[in-house]
């Protein structure tokens, strides 16, 4: 990649020098042109030196110095596209995706057909959820590079994300016309047709795939499943039986037929097929896992069959008692069926047999977090650090456990490490920054708190919970209230009728001494809450007091006291009939 950049710069210099040479030959004012050429060459040489100094600083890890050198290069030579590209890369590393996008757009203005620039811009757009624009980038790329079929697949992917399904089918058709039937493209087409309720096209797409790849039984199973989902049981059974003639140990066909016979009340044949599949130790465990995974993938359509999946998982564990995968899938099934506490023992058993399956650790983290088992969460995240020292999610949950236990210094350390390990996972990085904002606020380090909230919003400016928390902290301190009002208003715009968000906006207005507006919004907060909290009532009392309505203020404070466990400040307000901030 660096070699390409150097070539680009050399070509840029060559083009400029050649143009000046041509002018020199044609213009009679040779001395003046010679002077212009010398000045331009000096500028170019300086820009080149700055650029390579930037490259050197980047290689040694001094990214701030690299950014400064590349910025200086484009200031004196604004046509240096490679420097804009380098600036964009550095901004991406700093999570400034908007700034990176602007610099990539400048680079592409200067070099509109550069493939690497276009790909990078497409990635930046996708990272900001601008999938429609990303699709346009890849459309342009495949138009100019008709043999690069990865560009076709990327465009189709982004078209699907923006619900441009017919256009996505068109792209897959172009792929097929150019290089023949492709499994990935055909399966995506099938799913789109099924989503559009075009059942004939969905079926014919799979039949064509089977004709092209007759030995791949996965596609026959897919077709049989499609028949089952759409109530065509006769064709489904016929297709599954056909698969078993080719491979008598096809675990998916065996279990699917077991499910079918159980559904129609033929328990004898149902047990026969189940035993053939899951109790046979000669059939690899991965084949059985893939069958159980189907229950997870199609859970909404097969909820009534989840008990059968539990039974199959138990047979799997008895047949392969030393395989961690069996316990893991059993845990996944129970977790999916809203039984996380039943799932946990299976995940713990999986870890006894194998410690390097990160998804198992991940499930343990999520479940213990949801169940508020924070001591257990800290215990398992500390253990996970030994096996996955570079996984940002481990440090996120470790920090969360410490934060919930009010161990703010330990939480800050974990979150800081998590940011370094988060890599390109912007969603995780944004959450880490937001949580660090909360932690620094608790540590009274308000400058760092504000800085980290701003970094979180720089990644995702429409995270309503970050907007709300940040604005509330600002209001409590009575600082930057204009910014707090903007943030809180946006949070309410994104998620209207959230009583907590409405309360925050009312409180910002209160702290800004806009008491009439504050009362209006506080009433909205109370109306939006099924059971108004003590905080909501106390805030309303404070607002009424500042409006001179001391009688109703006292009434709201008394109501707040009834709803709270203990609040010394509130007791004093009521006793003295006055407001204490």
Helix (H, G, I), strand (E, B) or coil at 495: coil
Q: Which tokens hold the place of 80?
A: 């240096």
Q: What letters, b where the CB count within 10 A reaches 16 and e where it falls short, cover 172-207?
A: bebbbeeeeebeebbbbbbbbbbeeeeeeebbebbe
Of 113-117, 320-324, 515-519, 562-566, give the lowest mean pLDDT range: 562-566
Same fold flag, 1-128 and 357-461: yes
44/293 Cα distance (integer angstroms): 60
Checking phi first, is residue 77 left (phi over 0); if not, alpha (psi -120 to 50) or beta? beta
Pinpoint the alpha helices (H) of 111-164. Answer: 115-127, 131-144, 149-161
Q: Is 483 exposed, middle or buried (0-12, 13-18, 19+ CB in 10 A)?
A: middle
Residue 220, pLDDT above cutoff 60 = yes
Domain boundaries, the chain: 1-128, 357-461
Nearest alpha-carbon partner for 239 in 198, 286, 207: 207
Q: What per-residue confidence (pLDDT) applies to 395?
A: 98
Domain spanning 357-461, CATH class: mainly alpha
Mean pLDDT score of the chain: 89
Q: Which tokens hold the place of 246?
A: 């080719």
Nearest alpha-carbon partner for 256 in 290, 205, 208, 207: 290
484/514 Cα distance (integer angstroms): 14
Please compute the mean of the pLDDT values over residues 52-56 and round it to a whole number. 91
Asked if residue 470 lies in contact with residue 453, where contact means CB atoms within 8 angstroms, the answer is yes
If you write DSSP's letter for every residue of 293-322 in order, what string do you get?
HHHHHTTTTSGGGHHHHHHHHHHHHHHSTT
Please name the residue that has the structure tokens 């920054």. Answer: 433
190/148 Cα distance (integer angstroms): 23
Q: What per-residue confidence (pLDDT) applies to 43?
A: 83
Please name the residue that has the structure tokens 């009534």. Answer: 304
335/349 Cα distance (integer angstroms): 15
- Give the percent of the chain with pLDDT over 70: 93
Residue 471, pLDDT above cutoff 70 = yes
Per residue in 225-246, pLDDT tens? 999 999 999 999 999 999 999 9
Q: What per-residue confidence (pLDDT) applies to 295?
A: 83
1-128: CATH topology: 1.25.40
Please compute the mean of the pLDDT values over residues 38-58 and round it to a whole number. 83
Asked if residue 328 lies in contact with residue 364, where contact means CB atoms within 8 angstroms, the answer is no
Per residue in 422-431, pLDDT tens? 998 999 999 9
Please name the residue that has the structure tokens 């959820």. Answer: 129
Categorize the per-residue pLDDT at 306 as very low, low, confident or very high, splitting at 50, 70 and 90.
confident
Q: What per-residue confidence (pLDDT) applies to 19?
A: 32
Categorize the per-residue pLDDT at 566 as very low, low, confident or very high, splitting at 50, 70 and 90.
confident
Per residue in 184-194, pLDDT tens? 999 999 999 99
Categorize the per-residue pLDDT at 100 as very low, low, confident or very high, splitting at 50, 70 and 90.
very high
Q: What per-residue confidence (pLDDT) applies to 300?
A: 82
């Amino acid at each position: 990649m660096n070699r390409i950049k150097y070539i680009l710069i050399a070509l840029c210099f060559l083009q400029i020098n050649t143009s000046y040479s041509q002018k020199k030959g044609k213009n009679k004012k040779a001395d003046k042109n010679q002077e212009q050429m010398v000045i331009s060459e000096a500028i170019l040489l300086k820009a080149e030196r700055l650029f390579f100094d930037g490259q050197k600083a980047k290689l040694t890890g001094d990214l701030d110095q690299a950014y400064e050198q590349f910025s200086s290069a484009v200031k004196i030579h604004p046509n240096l596209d490679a420097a804009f590209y380098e600036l964009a890369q550095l901004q991406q590393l700093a999570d400034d995706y908007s700034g990176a996008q602007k610099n990539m757009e400048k680079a592409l203005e200067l070099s509109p057909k550069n493939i690497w620039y276009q790909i990078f811009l497409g990635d930046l757009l996708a990272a900001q959820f601008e999938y429609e624009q990303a699709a346009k980038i890849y459309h342009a790329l495949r138009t100019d590079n008709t043999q690069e079929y990865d560009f076709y697949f990327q465009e189709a992917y982004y078209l699907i994300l923006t619900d441009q399904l017919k256009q996505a089918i068109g792209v897959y058709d172009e792929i097929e016309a150019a290089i023949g039937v492709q499994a990935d493209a055909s399966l995506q087409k099938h799913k789109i047709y099924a989503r559009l309720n075009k059942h004939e096209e969905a079926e014919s797409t799979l039949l064509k795939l089977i004709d092209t790849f007759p030995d791949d039984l996965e596609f026959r199973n897919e077709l049989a499943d499609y028949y089952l989902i759409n109530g065509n049981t006769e064709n489904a059974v016929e297709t599954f039986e056909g698969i078993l003639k080719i491979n008598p140990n096809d675990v998916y066909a065996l279990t699917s037929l077991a499910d079918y016979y159980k559904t129609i009340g033929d328990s004898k044949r149902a047990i026969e097929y189940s035993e053939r599949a899951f109790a046979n130790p000669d059939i690899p465990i991965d084949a059985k896992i893939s069958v159980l995974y189907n229950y997870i993938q199609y859970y909404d359509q097969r909820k009534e069959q989840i008990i059968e999946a539990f039974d199959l998982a138990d047979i799997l564990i008895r047949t392969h008692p030393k395989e961690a995968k069996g316990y893991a899938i059993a845990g996944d099934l129970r977790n999916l069926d809203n039984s996380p506490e039943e799932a946990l023992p299976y995940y713990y058993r999986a870890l006894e047999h194998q410690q390097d399956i990160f998804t198992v650790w991940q499930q343990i983290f999520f479940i213990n977090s949801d169940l508020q088992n924070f001591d257990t969460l800290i215990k398992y995240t500390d253990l996970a650090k030994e096996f996955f020292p570079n996984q940002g999610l481990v440090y996120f949950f470790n920090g969360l456990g410490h934060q919930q236990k009010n161990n703010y210094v330990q939480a800050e350390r974990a979150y800081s490490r998590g940011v370094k390990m988060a890599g390109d996972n912007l969603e995780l990085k944004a959450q880490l920054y937001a949580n660090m904002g909360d932690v620094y606020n608790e540590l009274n380090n308000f400058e760092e708190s504000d800085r980290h909230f701003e970094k979180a919003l720089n990644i995702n400016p429409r995270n309503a919970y970050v907007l709300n928390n940040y604005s509330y902290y600002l209001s409590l301190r009575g600082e930057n209230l204009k910014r707090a009002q903007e943030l809180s208003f946006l949070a309410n715009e994104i998620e209207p009728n959230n009583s907590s968000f409405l309360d925050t906006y009312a409180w910002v207005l209160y702290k800004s001494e806009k008491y009439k507006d504050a009362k209006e919004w506080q009433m909205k907060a109370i109306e939006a809450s099924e059971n108004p909290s003590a905080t909501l009532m106390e805030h309303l009392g404070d607002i009424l007091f500042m409006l001179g309505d001391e009688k109703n203020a006292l009434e709201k404070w008394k109501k707040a006291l009834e709803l709270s466990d203990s609040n010394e400040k509130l007791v004093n307000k009521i006793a003295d009939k006055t407001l204490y901030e």
